[in-house]
Amino acid sequence: MSLDTAMVRRIASLARIRLEEEEVGRMQAELNGILGWIEQLQAVPTEGVEPMAGGSPLPAAGGMRMRADEVTEGGIAEKVLANAPDRIGDYFAVPKVVE
Amino acid sequence: MHPTDFSLRGALDALAEGAISSEELTRAHLDAIERLNPRINAYITVTAEQALARARESDARRARGEAGPLEGLPLAIKDLFCTEGVRTTAGSRILGNFVPPYESTVTANLLRDGAVFLGKANLDEFAMGSSNTTSAFGPVENPWSRRNDPDARLVPGGSSGGSAAAVAARLALGATATDTGGSIRQPAAFCGIAGIKPTYGRCSRFGIVAFASSLDQAGPVARTVEDCALLLRSMAGFDPKDATSAEVPVPDFAAACARGVRGLRIGVPQEYRLDGMPTEIEALWQRGLEWLRAEGAETVEISLPHTRYALPTYYIVAPAEASSNLARYDGVRYGLRVAEADGDLRDLYERTRAAGFGAEVKRRIMIGTYVLSAGYYDAYYLKAQKVRALIRQDFERAWERVDAIVTPATPSAAFGMDEKQDDPVTMYLNDVFTVTANLAGLPGLAVPAGLDAQGLPLGLQVIGRAFDEETVFAVGAAIERAADFRALPGLRAGA
């Protein structure tokens, strides 16, 4: 599967990365190089193989631990906002979204 | 003896005897950093005042008889670990001047045990790389150089290149690092030091900037296997803040270093013999196996048949998880923001991410976005998860016959800063021997074992069963004793 320039633009849009027109060709070549190399996986027979989700080395211990659904911390608005590029009061500020 | 030449164990003994204070030890390292870091660039941020203040507190604790297990030891912290009140960059422009309001669990554990942090170590951007050349804060130089071409600047490996270079050049006694596909073991091997990626779940990932969450693990780099064991014991442990943290006891890893290998069965996977691999790496591997046999171990030829599919599997799984994890860098809550005066929110996201991420990170986000997108998920991501299960199964079968597996750590010695930069896939092949342990979640240790013809260090890797780091340390320490690796890099403090 080789990506055309329209697909490269679409992926960039999905990834929310602005791609300048002059960057598209190079990105296309690099992505196709990587995808072409990955393609060899299609040769591995995997019928009936349970996909491995998560990183646990022990198949039986694959399930993640649940915790009680209760508040453990909070009331730290100043800490949460301390690194905000822009804020208004206790809110993160962004360009107007709704007209 | 120069104070920067201590092993961690040696420094602990010297501190206990009163032969040196933590303040003296810390100052010696800060002086060395001031002298050598402008060239090596191992540190992005040096926290000299804080380090000296903490060293004095440490000396006071020791005087009161309250010394912790790592009391007074100056360490470097990979700049992927959030450190409260100290800028954390992940080697990226997109984090801007992010100052975490909290401490990662691993670094909190080290502070609890008395360690002193010298500063934040350089790395590939978001830990994506094998050369430390993708850092937004400039490349790190390997303190080693080639005998016949001493002016060629070599990479320290990556992504934990700053951590490994700092430890090799004696700019820290040890360092924290992280490993997603080889980022502890490959730079350790390139810099002639030891490093272990423990079992997935052994160290908490809380407060470590996420790259690929099912593969990321923290671990130490240090100049001896035992020093790695000492650091790992403090770094590891159950943490309720990480849902994948394992609720298992943390053994005395350092004690395991003295166990020896008598009676152990050591697996030698035939698939790790690559076409075109330098003969000196094959020779080093054979020498390592001979050392282990001489100590009473038995070596057994084994097969890990899906090995050749490990890297392509990794380059689906890791970018997929990265594209999801890095969605959080949106220019809204922290870090860099790039916006046009009349732009909308989407424009803000796209400009911020275009300006904030480097080329390798963008490539991986793009690959990850593609393999997770509608219509392609089954062909790529689901397929990779299935092959990943087969890779894990290969190891499960091997453990029926062997107790540990020994392989080369890397397919080459350190390369030049200008090499392997043209084709991303060429760079990816660096991790061919290390990435399997990440996919299977297993512990892997790199130990320096010899020099190539150019005088550059080469390492061997020991892979073990899940949560059996003790056997890994036992085998690694036996290799270390037999190798008696004493070569030193040209660029180092006290030289």
Interface of A with B in 68-87 (CB under 8 A): 76, 79-80, 82-86
Q: Answer whether A11 sits within 8 Å of B370, measured CB to CB.
A: yes
List the pLDDT tens digit at each of the 495 positions of chain B.
899 999 999 999 999 999 999 999 999 999 999 999 999 999 999 999 999 999 999 999 999 999 999 999 999 999 999 999 999 999 999 998 999 999 999 999 999 999 999 999 999 999 999 999 999 999 999 999 999 999 999 999 999 999 999 999 999 999 999 999 999 999 999 999 999 999 999 999 999 999 999 999 999 999 999 999 999 999 999 999 999 999 999 999 999 999 999 999 999 999 999 888 889 999 999 999 999 999 999 999 999 999 999 999 999 999 999 999 999 999 999 999 999 988 999 999 999 999 999 999 999 999 999 999 999 999 999 999 999 999 999 999 999 999 999 999 999 999 999 998 888 888 889 899 999 999 999 999 999 999 999 999 999 999 999 999 999 999 999 999 999 999 999 999 988
Place of tokens 């490269």: A8
Closest approach of B144 to chain A, Cα-based (Å): 31
- What CATH number has the domain bearing residue B187? 3.90.1300.10
Residue of A nearest to B98 (CA): A83
Domain count, chain B: 1
Q: Please confirm, yes or no, whether B159 is among the known catalytic residues.
A: yes
Give which of A73, A89, A74, A83 is closest to B101, Cα–Cα.
A83
Of A14, A57, A96, the CB nearest to B392: A57
Closest approach of A62 to chain B, Cα-based (Å): 9
Give which of B387, B326, B276 is closest to A38, Cα–Cα.
B387
* Per-residue pLDDT at A59: 64
- b/e code A53-73 from CB counts within 10 Å (16+ = b): ebbbbbeebeeeeeeeeeeee
Could you please report the per-residue DSSP string of B275-332? TT--HHHHHHHHHHHHHHHHTT-EEEEE--TTGGGHHHHHHHHHHHHHHHHGGG-SSS
Q: Answer whether A15 sits within 8 Å of B353, measured CB to CB.
A: yes
Of A17, A46, A54, the CB nearest to B387: A46
Residues forming a β-bridge with B177: B219
Q: Answer whether A38 sits within 8 Å of B385, measured CB to CB.
A: no
Closest approach of B339 to chain A, Cα-based (Å): 9
* A-B contacts at Cβ under 8 angstroms: 176
Catalytic residue among B135, B159, B160, B245: B159
Place of tokens 């001896």: B224
Task: Please give the angle made by the CA atoms of A81, A84 and A86, to the nearest 5 degrees.
Answer: 115
Q: For testing the chain A interface, which of B386, B396, B432 should be mutated: the one with the most A CBs within 10 Å?
A: B386
Of A55, A59, A94, the CB nearest to B214: A55
Token pair listed for B176: 């924290």
Give which of B419, B453, B480, B415 is closest to B280, Cα–Cα.
B453
Cβ-Cβ contacts under 8 Å, B389 against chain A: 49-52
Cα distance between residue B92 and residue B365, in whole Å: 14
Cα–chain center distance at B1: 28
* Per-residue pLDDT at A9: 98
For β-strands B457-464 and B404-408, DSSP reports them as antiparallel
Q: Please confirm, yes or no, whether B183 is among the known catalytic residues.
A: yes
* Per-residue pLDDT at B390: 98
Domain at A5-42: CATH architecture: Orthogonal Bundle (1.10)
Parent domain of B171: 1-495
Cβ-Cβ contacts under 8 Å, B214 against chain A: 53-55
Residue of B nearest to A27 (CA): B363
CA Rg, chain A, in Å? 22
Of A1, A38, A80, the CB nearest to B316: A38
Cβ-Cβ contacts under 8 Å, A96 against chain B: 344
A53 lies within 8 A of chain B by CB: yes
A60 lies within 8 A of chain B by CB: no
Prediction ipTM score: 0.95
Cα distance between residue B258 and residue B160, in whole Å: 28
- b/e code B441-453 from CB counts within 10 Å (16+ = b): bbbbbbbbbbbbe
Place of tokens 């009391």: B71
Q: Please confirm, yes or no, whether B78 is among the known catalytic residues.
A: yes
A51 secondary structure, DSSP code? P
For A83-97, how does the pLDDT look when each residue is reduced to its tens digit (9 = 90+)?
999 999 999 999 988
Cα distance between residue B106 and residue B350, in whole Å: 33
Cα distance between residue A78 and residue B190, in whole Å: 43
What's at B416, amino acid-wise?
G
